[in-house]
Amino acid sequence: MEVKEMLYEGKAKQVFATDRDDVLMVHYKDDATAFNGLKKGTIEGKGVINNRVTNYLMQKLEGEGVPTHFVEELNGRDTLVKRVRIVPLEVIIRNISAGSFAKRFGVEEGIVFDAPTIEYSYKNDELGDPMINTAQALALKLATPAEIETIRTLAFKVNDVLKAFFKEVGVDLVDFKLEFGRLSDGTIVLADEISPDTCRFWDSKTHEKLDKDRFRRDLGNVEDAYHEMMKRILGE
Ligand code: TMP
């Protein structure tokens, strides 16, 4: 396998072409941003942790029947993935109130919901990823009705699998963000990452935050929290 030119650079990752037309390579950086890039920093070792954690969880999800873009982990920071056209929707599932949900609806953080919620943002940095509903997403032709149905079903399935898994390692899965992509034949697959950057993880007993909120909110011990999550997930 040969790595070719960089196709895209995001806030936390770079994407490269390879000698296979249908396969790309993702490189995970230590760069961290928050509030649509307003806050910038580095989380030492984050790239390796997010790469390894994402790949572990993607493979677990594949085993449970969720199609993903994962192909092969090359090394600590680099992974081969299937080339997809990203659906420009961020899909957010919540099990417990926190973050923008708590702020928007004027409730405290930590309310355990009877059933998970789903919401979508339009993935558009210039607009600051505004919240969008499915009718609006259809009006903007961001996805077809069938794709939105598939995305919704898969997102809740991901939540069922991950919630149960994290419970076993003593972590409450508070909320998380997913992205989906289309393979060349149109199949919808889970893409992007699943990591402490894109999920809220609270220790089940102490409720200590073990995710990017430590960076967003200047809580300190950011690296320790990422390491702790890797340890619990990968068992090392
Ligand atoms: P929120 O409460 O700020 O809306 O975040 C909900 C979840 O989505 C949380 O687990 C963090 C994740 N998230 C991202 O992955 N990327 C983002 O740009 C934002 C705003 C949130």
pLDDT band at 164 (very low <50, low <70, confident <90, very high): very high
Can you tell me which atom of ligand 1 is nearest the CA of 197?
A: 15
Domains of the chain: 3-82 (3.30.200.20), 85-221 (3.30.470.20)
Can you tell me which atom of ligand 1 is nearest the CA of 176?
A: 10
Question: Which residues neighbour 33 within 8 Å (Cβ) at sequence distance 6 or greater?
Answer: 11, 12, 39, 40, 41
pLDDT band at 41 (very low <50, low <70, confident <90, very high): very high
Positive or negative, the CA dihedral 195, 196, 198, 200 is positive
Q: What is the Cβ-side half-sphere exposure of residue 232, based on CA atoms within 13 angstroms? A: 21
In the prediction, which pLDDT does 163 show?
A: 98
Please name the residue that has the structure tokens 């982990």: 73
In the prediction, which pLDDT does 227 show?
A: 98
pLDDT tens for 86-131 read 999 999 999 999 999 999 999 999 999 999 999 999 999 999 999 9
In the prediction, which pLDDT does 236 show?
A: 76
Average pLDDT, the chain: 98
Q: Which of 127, 171, 177 to mutate to test the pocket of ligand 1 (most atoms within 8 A of CB)?
A: 177
pLDDT tens for 5-23 read 999 999 999 999 999 999 9
119/51 Cα distance (integer angstroms): 25
Helix or strand (DSSP H, E) at 51: helix 46-63
In the prediction, which pLDDT does 210 show?
A: 98
